[in-house]
Amino acid sequence: MSVTAVVGAQWGDEGKGRTVDYLAQGADLVIRFQGGDNAGHTIVNDYGVFALHLVPGGIFNPQATCLIGAGTVVNFDVLLEEVAELEAAGVDTGRLVVDQRAHLILPFHRWLDAAQESSRREGWVVGTTHRGIGPAYADKAARYGIRAGDILDPDRLRPRMEMLVPRKNRELAFHGLPQTSVDELMDLCAGWRGRIAHRIVDAVPLVRGAVRGGRDVLLEGQLGVMRDLDWGIYPYSTSSSPTAGGACAGAGIPPRAIDRVLGVVKAFSTSVGGGPFPTEVHGALCERFRTAGPEVGHEYGARTGRPRRCGWFDGVVVGYASWLNGFTGISVTKLDVLDAFETLQICVAYRRGDRVLDYVPDTAAQELVTPVYESFPGWMSDTSGARTWDALPSNAQRYLRRVEELAGVPIRYVSVGPRREQIIVVEG
């Protein structure tokens, strides 16, 4: 019985969804602790193929309670759609709840997100998914945000809306967008109240009871450390903290209660959106990373369909992620995608002028570094059927051991395909 945080070690899209789906088979409580419906956690199991945007990956375990935590921002329209899709596929969503403290994404947040992105100068575009995440977190930090629990009490909600709407209308006018109104937003919230009120809870007793009761709790992060608001490639970052520290804050769990921090590490690198990406490759090589392996794992954003930027494995980034999160182990995903590469590169340090760096510098400096690579022979054979470490080709084992060294913690899982059973549990 333990509390495990599952967090992304790179730029996001590492395969956290499938890792959580696998681990959640034995979990009692699964908590999404930050972010919003910009997530696209792809899960392939007996129910089908799903890109979960808000619902925690534990939803496929009928015993697990799934909590959308206080640190998230929630668009209830998207949540209702996602619940309907899951129910249509035969998944019971009766144990899905939302913390009353989670902030709401309202329609104008989405409009402002798109307008703010298009008003940025060339080269400074963040690459958001236009889902309103950043503007909703901005209102949260400014103490004007509307929280899930607020919709339960219209008398308390209306004055909050009356304070918020004039501010937002000034912003909307600045961007040449149509105005919003208090009545329109009150109607929207009334509609949500009718459909979602039964899922809005105070998560404190639920989470505290699970942790004190020694239950298995999973904390599910979205994106990865390189998109962290403080430690990522600001301003090409998300608006929250996808780290283990963020998990404590967003789920309402004390740091000492976390027993394991599992870093999810893709066997190479991908990034969606702007910002530095030292090991990026282009052209035909990038296309090889994008399209190798089964179609379901192709490197196109689960949320936007945008092609992901691809590159060699960056051990500096993963070492940095390991330090910041306090990884106790890693789960390496998508090894099978490398099956047909004759030679592989691993970045083990950065060079900047005549200096060699073994950590990730801040954004401006990161734009100037060049990777120091070690070359590894590929294995040129199909790993997708491997279910044990020993079944992996020796060159794959060598590659993975170097990844492990750079992470500084043991590999616990290796995945070799998108399906739930395509995973190797590495005995410690």
40 is an interface residue for ligand GDP by CB under 6 A: yes
293 is an interface residue for ligand GDP by CB under 6 A: yes
82 is an interface residue for ligand GDP by CB under 6 A: no
Closest to ligand GDP by CB, 293 vs 315, is 293
Separation of alpha carbons 85 and 53, rounded Å = 12
CB of 332 to ligand GDP, least distance (A): 8
336 is an interface residue for ligand GDP by CB under 6 A: yes
CB of 290 to ligand GDP, least distance (A): 11
Separation of alpha carbons 30 and 420, rounded Å = 17
Provide the 10 A C-beta neighbour count for residue 49: 12
CB of 416 to ligand GDP, least distance (A): 5
Separation of alpha carbons 168 and 165, rounded Å = 5
Q: Which stretch binds ligand GDP (CB under 6 A): 77-85, 291-299, 309-317, 371-379?
A: 291-299
Closest to ligand GDP by CB, 176 vs 305, is 305
The footprint of ligand GDP on residues 337-396 (CB under 6 A) is 337
Q: Which of 333, 345, 366, 383 binds ligand GDP (CB under 6 A)?
A: 333
Contact indicator for 76, 197 with CB cutoff of 8 Å: no
- Output the DSSP codes for 277-305: -TTEE-HHHHHHHHHSS-GGG-SB-TTT-
Closest to ligand GDP by CB, 272 vs 324, is 272
CB of 384 to ligand GDP, least distance (A): 8
221 is an interface residue for ligand GDP by CB under 6 A: no
Q: H or E segment at 363?
A: helix 363-366
The set of residues, in sequence order, having a beta carbon less than 8 Å from that of 38 and lying 6+ positions away, is 53, 128, 129, 131, 133, 222, 238, 303
13 is an interface residue for ligand GDP by CB under 6 A: yes
Number of residues that bind ligand GDP (CB under 6 A): 24
Separation of alpha carbons 248 and 368, rounded Å = 34
CB of 341 to ligand GDP, least distance (A): 14
Is residue 41 part of the annotated active site? The answer reads yes
245 is an interface residue for ligand GDP by CB under 6 A: no
Three-state SS at 27:
coil
CB of 292 to ligand GDP, least distance (A): 8
Three-state SS at 204:
helix
Closest to ligand GDP by CB, 145 vs 232, is 232
- Which is it for the CA torsion 217, 200, 240, 348, positive or negative? positive
Closest to ligand GDP by CB, 226 vs 337, is 337
**The residue to which tokens 């298009």 are assigned:** 118
Catalytic residue among 21, 28, 41, 314: 41
Q: Which of 41, 109, 110, 199 binds ligand GDP (CB under 6 A)?
A: 41
Closest to ligand GDP by CB, 180 vs 415, is 415
Q: Which stretch binds ligand GDP (CB under 6 A): 41-49, 58-66, 110-118, 359-367?
A: 41-49
Separation of alpha carbons 47 and 90, rounded Å = 7
CB of 24 to ligand GDP, least distance (A): 13
Separation of alpha carbons 269 and 355, rounded Å = 24
Helices and strands counted in the chain (H then E): 12, 21
CB of 308 to ligand GDP, least distance (A): 9
Q: Which of 64, 415, 424, 426 binds ligand GDP (CB under 6 A)?
A: 415
Is residue 183 part of the annotated active site? The answer reads no
Q: Which of 5, 334, 344, 409 binds ligand GDP (CB under 6 A)?
A: 334
Q: Which two tokens stand for residue 426?
A: 């590495």
Provide the 10 A C-beta neighbour count for residue 359: 11
H-only helix segments in 175-277: 182-196, 203-212, 244-251
CB of 245 to ligand GDP, least distance (A): 19
The set of residues, in sequence order, having a beta carbon less than 8 Å from that of 114 and lying 6+ positions away, is 130
Q: Which of 30, 12, 22 is nearest to 69 (CA)?
A: 30
Q: Which stretch binds ligand GDP (CB under 6 A): 11-19, 158-166, 176-184, 246-254?
A: 11-19
325 is an interface residue for ligand GDP by CB under 6 A: no
Q: Which of 340, 92, 390, 74 is nearest to 222 (CA)?
A: 74
58 is an interface residue for ligand GDP by CB under 6 A: no
Residues that bind ligand GDP (CB under 6 A): 8, 13-18, 40-42, 44, 293-294, 296-297, 302, 333-334, 336-337, 415-418
The residues carrying an active-site annotation are 13, 41
